[in-house]
Amino acid sequence: MTRILIAEDEERLAAFLEKGLKSNGFSTTVVGDGEAAAVLARSDEFDLLVLDLGLPLKDGMDVLRELRAAGSRLPVVILSARDETVEGLELGADDYMTKPFRFDELLARVRVRLREQTSSGGTELILTAGELSLDLRTRMASVDGRAIELSAREFTMLEVFLRHPGQVMSREQLLSHVWGYYYDPGSNVVDVYVGYLRKKLGRDRIRTVRGMGYALSE
C-alpha cells in the first residue's frame, strides 16, 4: 500500500486530508510540526509527502531544503496559504497547491507524482464493479463495453463509489470527498450529480438508501 506522510498543524484540515486519502486506498501518517516531518520524511518509509509550509518548530521550506540537501527524491506536494510557488519549486517541491483547495485536485496531483516516481504508480489504475469500470489514467468510464465521458466532478464521485462498492455513502461523505474542505453541507449538489451519473451509467447503477445516502450496486 502506498504510504503518504501528511505534515499539517491545522487539526481539522489534517483530519480531512487523512480521511480523504485513506478512503482512496492510501496509508497515511500525520505529523503536526516541522521537526517531526523532517525526521520521518528522511526515514525511507514513505512514498510521498504532503507538506504545509506554516509548521511550528521548523518551517516547511526548511524541511524541504533539508530533505533535498540530504539527497532524498521523495515526491513533495506543498500546501500553503502563502503564495511562494516559485521558491518552493526551486527548492525541489514536485507540486504546489494554495489553500483553499479542492480535494479532487489534490488527489489527482498526488497520483500524478506517484506515477512519475515509479512505473507501476503503486496504486490501482482501473476500478471495476460488475460491468462498470473506471480508468484512472484516461478518466474514462465503461459500462457493458460502452465508453462514457465524464466531467471532473462526475469522475471523482464515481471513483468514490467504486472504491466503496455496495457501501452506503452519505451526502456529507460525498460532499467532503468530491467538493473538498470548503463544502456547503446544505447543498443539494450531490443529488444533482448522482442524477447526472445515473443518466450516463443507467439508473440502477446507483441506488438510493432512504434517509442514509447512496450506494453503488455491485
**Residues sharing a CB contact under 8 Å with residue 42, sequence separation 6 or more, in sequence order:** 66, 67, 70, 72
63, 7 contact by CB (below 8 A): yes
Q: Model's pTM, two decimal places?
A: 0.58
Domain residue limits, the chain: 3-117, 126-216
Q: Residue for cell digits 455496495?
A: 166
Domain with residues 3-117, CATH architecture: 3-Layer(aba) Sandwich (3.40)
Domain with residues 126-216, CATH architecture: Orthogonal Bundle (1.10)
**Residues sharing a CB contact under 8 Å with residue 182, sequence separation 6 or more, in sequence order:** 100
Does a cis peptide bond (omega within 30 degrees of 0) precede residue 100? yes
Q: What is the pLDDT along the chain (218 residues), one digit of tens a residue?
A: 789 999 999 999 999 999 999 988 899 999 999 999 999 999 888 989 999 999 999 999 999 999 988 888 889 999 887 666 667 677 788 888 888 888 888 988 898 788 776 544 444 568 889 899 988 767 789 998 899 998 878 888 898 898 888 899 998 888 877 776 556 667 888 999 999 999 999 999 999 999 999 999 87
Tell me how many helices (H) and strands (E) the chain has. Answer: 8, 11
Beta bridge partner(s), residue 129: 132
